[in-house]
Chains A and B, each alone.
Chain A
Amino acid sequence: MTKPLLSIRDLRVSFVSDRTHKDVLHGVSLSVERGKVLALVGESGSGKSVTGLTTMGLLPRQATVTGGSIRFRGEEITGHVPRSLRGAGIAMVFQNPRAALNPTRRIRDQLSDVIRAHGKVDRAGLQARLTELMHQVSITDATRCLNAYPHQLSGGLCQRIVIAMAVACSPDLIIADEPTTGLDVLTQKAAMDLLLRLTRERDMGMILVTHDLGMAAQYSDDVAVMRHGKIVERGTPEALFRSPRNDYTRQLVAACPTATSLLEAPEATVARQAAEPVPLLEVRSMVKEYQNGFRAVDDVSFVIRPGECLGLIGESGSGKSTISRLVSRLVDPEGGEILFNGTPISTIPAEAFYRASQRRQIQFVFQDAAGSLNPRYTAYRSIVDPLLRMGPVPDGEALRALVVRTACSVGLSEEMLERYPHQMSGGQCARVGIARAIIVSPDLLILDEPTAALDVLVQAEVLALLERLRRERGMSYLFVSHDLHVVRMLCDRAIILRRGRIVEAGRCDDIFRAPQSDYTASLLEAIPHFSPGASV
């Protein structure tokens, strides 16, 4: 074993603000070697990003290193990373690549800035370096890309540019902080493959900071699982994911939706209803066009039968969210029909729909749970509000009892009801959002990526909750998600959308076993996973 490129020993970091003192890293130790990838895995707030930023010396002002040491190439750099080292010694790749690039500067200039920051180069040399970099990150259309502004490039290209920037000055270590957030599954795969290839080719070290166990498994040589500012378990991906020793790791692995995972739900108290002749919801050739002529939804038709859960899958921009908002009558379609229980509801304009009798029966659970709660309402008021608006309102004690009961059924304790959104965790907010939707006993619940912003463990809990509620109450779901595994776990049937059109529809089991369209197939293929034998 060679001497480690980076070694962090007992690193302690705390945030100080207004006399409050919060430790975020409690003695983290790790090491990275050349040519190897270390994945730092954990939920949000586990301290994995702080570890990366501390190494770069990019901690926010109110954070201080209170102990430990970071040695890079044997040199002590704790607390004072020299500028020359940043970019040339250690480079960083951030999430959301388009935002990571200066919007008002051409790619060429931004790359040149980086190169020039670490040494004098003449024009010809600079041009040669740029061309070479573009080649390395597999950009074929180099001239156009170099002359473009970030907004003129796709997310995938931007991420390649960011990677090019990172490797521009031949660093020995790359810290990739959630490098694929904000990218679609297919692009995500390409970017990760590129990063991995460069690491190997250039014999660099890489720290991959991610919340995605699948990605960690697929792209790393070592995995460190972090929780509450500590590393709880370390090991090779195979060992770690196949036989986790730590309880927390075990929970994580179990909660991660995979191609084979199933929801643990109690036996159905109400059995799934058999197909009935009259569908609960029928959508016929629905079209939504925006003012600039862009067709977000183009001739989409589907039905949802009573008690059924329909999954709506697509990448960002595929029109899945628009469909959910159309069906829930928040926006008006430009064409087509929406029938609810056989009654057309698309004729009622969206702004008047609050008066319609169907309003009660179609409820919505929003993607950003915290953002969907009025910041000035307590959980209780948020939950009781739809009831007060649409009734029937039981009197006095009964009302409170009903709210408490509903809250209980989504797993909220009574004292949580007096809290404001900012006093609750993401999972708790999501539960309030669900409670608010089901308190009026709707027939159809539209769920727009209800778990996208949640950590894996919470996601698993919420999914289980949703499954239980459906069984207990016999509701129908329209479940919108980009995550194929989640849809497979929850839904009976699914629709795959691409650019506003349906590319495939059918029973979940069929789609996942034998996808009919190439697109579906490539989607399935691109999901990072840690099924045995797939790593690296």
Chain B
Amino acid sequence: MSTEKPLFPPLLRRIGLRLGAALPALFCVILFTFIMMRVLPGDPAVYFASGPNAGQAEIQELRHRMGLDAPMLVQFLHYLENLATGDLGRSLTTGQSVAQDMHDRLPASLELTLTALAFSLLISLPLGLTSAWWSGSIYDQCVRAFCSACFCIPPFVSGILLVYVFYYWLGVAPDPTGRINIFLPQPPRVSGLLLIDSALAGDWTAWHEAAGQLVLPALTMALFVIAPLTRMTRAAVISVLGADYIRTARAMGLPTWRIMIVYTLRNALMPVLTTVGIVFSTMMGANVLVEKIFSWPGVASYALDALVSSDYAPVQGFILLMACLFILVNLVIDLLLGVLDPRVSVE
């Protein structure tokens, strides 16, 4: 855009710095999860060699195959070595490599979370903006009550309730069994996000189906984060409204909508964006329950299943994935902030 300042070198430098700073944290995460997974009670070998005739020999064999009989440090070094080559280990629950499982399932979680995020932003941005605009009014109090109400419904309750009402009772929602009508062929995988893939393939039936499947789980997820997002938006807008330039804009007789959108919301977006980053990564990992209730083939339910069966590799892989995702999301948000706020890109 602007020709005076070289855009790329500082940009790349920023990305590099950010990623570099994240490495120690990443290592901590790896070490931490490794240790935690190992102190988890339950011998995975026993669990998996649980056929009625499996004896000690089979258990021992499985332990050996899983490398569980080596000293802890050796196991860890081995794990790091594998990580370096992109090998996250093998899941015993699905029998596939964890990397493959992640590759298969991450798009499902991403699609769900992104949709949920979009829903919640669509709801909370206007709510936050308007309740801040009329802060202290009855409307404001109502919005607050609504948000608190959304927040206090545990996702497991709201999920079950939504399914109950919209699927069993009204019958308007499709069955809560995954991402797309099971009888339809899946669109060829490009991005893994069904909405995108089916649109690319021009398969609008599939698109509608996939979109339909998304509505309820995304709404369940969204409900839970509406409160923090609205709260943040409201606070940000209120602080922007107190700024001198809003007063200037009013004094210059700018139309209200322009003050609201261009002057207020635009500036309030920056703190909101930071929150969105946190919300996004927590949603990705934390909504295990939603994925469970809607049989969503995502990474969180995958990790949960693995956790219950002491299948180490997927849980480690999952947490690592989350950490990487978090770093990535933060990076993206950082760059977005740079775009949104001209002041950031200068320092």
Contacts and interface: CB of A to CB of B under 8 A. Distances in A.
B245 A103 contact: yes
Nearest to B258: A113
Given A102-B267, A113-B262, A83 B255 contact: yes
A94 B252 contact: no
A86 B251 contact: yes
Given A94-B244, A101-B245, A104-B267, A86 B250 contact: yes
A118 B254 CA distance: 8
A321 interface: no
**B interface bracket (residues with beta carbon within 8 Å of A):** 20 to 34
Interface string B60-74: 000000000000000
A94 B248 contact: yes
Contacts of B346: 151-152
A117 interface: yes
A102 B342 contact: no
A88 interface: yes
Interface string A235-256: 0000000000000000000000
Classify chain A: how many residues form its interface, as a range: 20 to 34
B343 interface: yes
Contacts of B253: 83-88, 114, 117-118, 169
Contacts of B340: 104
B144 to A, nearest CB: 18
A527 to B, nearest CB: 26
B245 A102 contact: yes
Interface string B159-182: 000000000000000000000000
B81 interface: no
Contact of A99 (B2, B243, B249, B341): B243
Nearest to A117: B254
A280 interface: no
Given A102-B267, A103-B245, A56 B341 contact: no
Contacts of B263: 102, 105
Given A84-B253, A165-B252, A100 B245 contact: yes
Contacts of A166: 252
Interface in A77-129: 83-88, 91-92, 94, 96, 99-105, 113-114, 117-118
A53 to B, nearest CB: 9
Contacts of A343: none
A111 to B, nearest CB: 10
Interface string B109-133: 0000000000000000000000000
Interface of B: 2, 243-245, 247-255, 258, 262-263, 266-267, 340-343, 346
Closest 7 CB pairs of A and B: A87-B253, A86-B253, A87-B252, A92-B251, A99-B244, A149-B342, A102-B245
Given A104-B341, A113-B254, A117-B252, 15 more contacts: A58-B250, A86-B252, A87-B251, A87-B253, A87-B254, A88-B253, A94-B251, A100-B244, A100-B245, A103-B341, A113-B258, A117-B258, A151-B342, A166-B252, A169-B252
27 contacts: A58-B250, A83-B253, A85-B253, A87-B251, A87-B252, A87-B253, A87-B254, A88-B253, A94-B248, A99-B244, A102-B245, A102-B249, A102-B267, A104-B342, A104-B343, A105-B266, A113-B254, A113-B258, A113-B262, A114-B252, A114-B253, A117-B253, A149-B342, A149-B343, A151-B342, A151-B346, A169-B252
